[in-house]
Amino acid sequence: MMVAMRIKVFRNQDVGPVEMETAGLHRVHSTPNTTLWEDKRPAKPLEDPLDSDLWSMQGYLADPVHEAARRRNSHCADLVAGPEPNAQHWLTGLLDLDDMAEIYPERGRFLNSVCSFVLEKRALERRCQSGNVPPERLASLALDCLGTEDLDDLCLEMEFKPSSRIFGVDSYPLTDTGSQSREVNLDNLDEYLRKTLEFALDEGIRKQMEAFVTGFERVFPVAWLALFNGPELSHLISGDASVSWTREELLMYTLPGRGYSPSSPTYKMLIDVLLQMNVKERRAFLRFTTGSSTLPIGGLKNLQPHIQVVRKELKDSGPYPSVNTCRHYLKLPPYDTPEELKARLMAATKEIGFYLN
């Protein structure tokens, strides 16, 4: 059973504290206008995917980001669920295969294939009166889902191999403490999937997540993050990755100085060049001048300090622009054409280090 923090936000004039507490909600935080309530009621267990006819591999493949994908993650969460839901850690059930694919892209894609095989295998076992699927049918299913008829070709063992060996750990056994690792076959593939996800998304990261929450709580209650979804949080923390701006914004928030004025030809050429850049080039320009490839929410006007364009004499440092990222200074030599300016500027953005500081 998946367990996740459920937060509801209500306007104070719409509900009263007595009726909310009677309904099983617990007050988390209040403002003059709204109150955050956490739903403490037990979550309804997920239905057994083997008793459901909703699962459709064809539907999932045709529309992986909508309803079929949601059902698939629910079914896989049911595979991973432990036998004692009341004893689960708060992290249990918060992450799923989509998160695994984002953290470990290649491994996530493989585990998606494993999950597909396990679910289809169980469905076949239900259809067979004896409960035993013919070996040739299993081999065909393995070929379709895993790319091989013989699982030995994948050399899988009941262990988790970290992506880095910086801490001196080559592998972590996914077996009982003290027992030896064993090979993965078609019969225990579901156990391999369950234990891999349990370790990578739950048991293996509990201490790290608890430390993060403890530190985060020193700033403000982590429960408030439930107000935002993943993309919204990413937008708040990392800024706007789309990087868009207008001529008016550039003229207002990209300030000339120390040898340049709004009427300087080189400054005007820079504004034209910045307007013509694609998203990739804009991100490179921002990373070069500010140290970050994204803009804060609100765009250039909320970038502090604002980018300043100052004159750099060619005889002193050569024909390329240089920067002071701490103060968002772009030290720009005078150029004769926009083409020359852009070529020199984009070449400079590819440099890493203090050579063009």
Residues classed as catalytic: 326
Query: From residue 154, how far is each of 138, 184, 316 by CA, in Å?
Result: 16, 9, 60
Quickly tell me which residue has 């701006």 as its tokens: 245
In angstroms, the Cα distances linking 39 to 42, 87, 174, 211 are 8, 18, 34, 24
Q: Are 110 and 85 in contact (CB under 8 A)?
A: no
**What is the DSSP pairing of strand 172-173 with strand 159-160?**
antiparallel
What's at 310, amino acid-wise? V
By C-alpha distance, which of 111, 75, 71 is closest to 201? 111
Pair of tokens at residue 162:
């970290």
C-alpha 90/C-alpha 85 separation (Å) is 11
Residue 332: name the closest of 291, 273, 292, 282 by CA.
Answer: 273
Please give the Cα distance from 135 to 189 (Å, whole number). Answer: 15
Q: Which of 51, 98, 95 is nearest to 72 (CA)?
A: 98
